[in-house]
C-alpha cells in the first residue's frame, strides 16, 4: 500500500540514517518506510494494542504508551527527529508535548489538518455548522476531544512557546502546493519541522 501523502511529506524531511522517534506511530507504516528507504533507526510509541501488534509484525521497535504522560524516560537529544503526525488536535497539553519533542529530538516534525482552509471557512459561514477538516473528516462527536486550529494559529502558538518553524510543506488533499501568501487558505494539511534554535 502506498504511504499516505502527509507521511510521504514527513519522510522527505528525514535524512538517511537518522535516529527517529514516531509518537503515535499507529500501524507503523511511516517507520517501516523510513527504515526501508532511508535506513532510519526508528522507534515508535503507540497507545493501541492493535497498533503495537501491527508494528511488531512489521519488525519495528515500538512501545505501548500514552503521549499525555510525556517522554520522561527518553534522554535529552537522543533522536535526530521526533515525529508527531495528525495527532496534535487530540492532545491535552500540546505545549508540553512540543517541548518534550524538542528536548528529546534535535528537531520535531509535525503534521496537522488545517481548519483555516477556505472550505472550512465557507462551511461555517454558509451552513452554520462547525467545519470538518478536509483531511480529518471526523464529526465533532466522533472522537473524545479534538481542538480545531489553523496554520496561523499554530504559527502564533510556536512563537509563544519559543519554538521556531523551519521547513514547511503544504498539501491540498494530498497534493503539494507552492503558494506564496495563501497557505492557510489553500492547504488542507501542513507539515513543519520545528526547532529550539533560530533557523540560520
Partner 1 sequence: MTHDSVGAVSTQCFTFAEDEPFRLESGETLSPVRLAYETYGALNADRSNAILICHALSGSAHAAGYLDGDPTKLGWWEECIGPGKAFDTDRFFVICSNVIGSCYGSTGPASINPATGKPYGLNFPVVTIGDMVRAQVKLIDHLGIERLLCVAGGSMGGMQVLEWAARHPQRVRSAIPIATTAHHSPMLIAFSEVGRQAIYADPAWNRGDYYDKPQKPDAGLAVARMIGHITYLSEESMQMKFGRRLQGLEKYGYEFETEFEVESYLKYNGHKFTRRFDANSYLYITKAMDYFDLAQPTGSLAAAFANATHVKFLVISFTSDWLYPSYHSKELVSALTAVGADVTYLDVKSSWGHDAFLLEVDTMTHLVGSFLDRLVREEQVAPPVGYTPRNRLLSTSPDARLRTQLAETLA
Q: Which spans of this chain sit near partner 1 (rule: CB under 8 A)?
A: 43, 49, 52-53, 56-65, 72-75, 78
Nearer to partner 1, 37 or 156 (CB): 37
Residue with cell 527504515: 35
Minimum CB separation of residue 195 from partner 1 in Å reads: 22
Minimum CB separation of residue 183 from partner 1 in Å reads: 37
Minimum CB separation of residue 72 from partner 1 in Å reads: 8
The Cα–Cα gap between 106 and 79 comes to 6
Nearer to partner 1, 63 or 159 (CB): 63
Minimum CB separation of residue 62 from partner 1 in Å reads: 6
CA nearest neighbour of 42 among 85, 82, 102, 99? 82
Q: Angle at which helices 5-12 and 29-38 pack, to 10 degrees?
A: 40
CA nearest neighbour of 184 among 157, 163, 154, 158? 154
Residue with cell 492532545: 91
Nearer to partner 1, 16 or 180 (CB): 16
Nearer to partner 1, 61 or 152 (CB): 61
Amino acid at each position: 500500500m502506498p504511504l499516505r501523502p502527509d507521511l510521504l511529506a514527513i519522510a522527505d524531511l528525514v535524512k538517511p540514517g537518522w535516529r527517529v522517534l514516531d509518537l503515535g506511530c499507529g500501524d507503523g507504516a511511516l517507520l517501516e518506510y523510513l527504515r526501508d528507504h532511508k535506513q532510519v533507526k526508528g522507534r515508535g510509541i503507540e497507545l493501541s494494542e492493535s497498533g503495537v501488534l501491527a508494528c511488531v509484525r512489521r519488525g519495528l521497535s515500538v512501545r505501548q504508551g500514552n503521549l499525555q504522560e510525556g517522554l520522561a524516560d527518553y534522554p535529552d537529544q537522543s533522536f535526530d527527529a521526533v515525529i508527531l503526525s495528525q495527532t496534535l488536535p487530540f492532545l491535552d497539553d500540546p505545549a508540553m508535548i512540543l517541548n518534550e519533542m524538542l528536548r528529546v529530538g534535535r528537531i520535531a516534525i509535525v503534521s496537522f489538518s488545517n481548519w483555516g482552509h477556505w472550505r472550512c471557512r465557507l462551511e461555517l459561514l454558509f451552513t452554520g455548522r462547525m467545519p470538518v477538516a478536509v483531511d480529518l473528516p471526523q464529526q465533532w462527536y466522533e472522537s473524545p476531544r479534538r481542538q480545531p486550529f489553523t496554520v496561523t494559529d499554530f504559527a502564533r502558538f510556536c512563537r509563544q512557546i519559543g519554538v521556531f518553524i523551519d521547513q514547511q510543506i503544504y498539501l491540498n488533499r494530498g497534493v503539494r502546493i507552492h503558494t506564496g501568501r495563501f497557505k492557510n487558505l489553500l492547504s488542507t494539511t501542513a507539515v513543519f519541522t520545528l526547532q529550539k534554535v533560530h533557523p540560520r
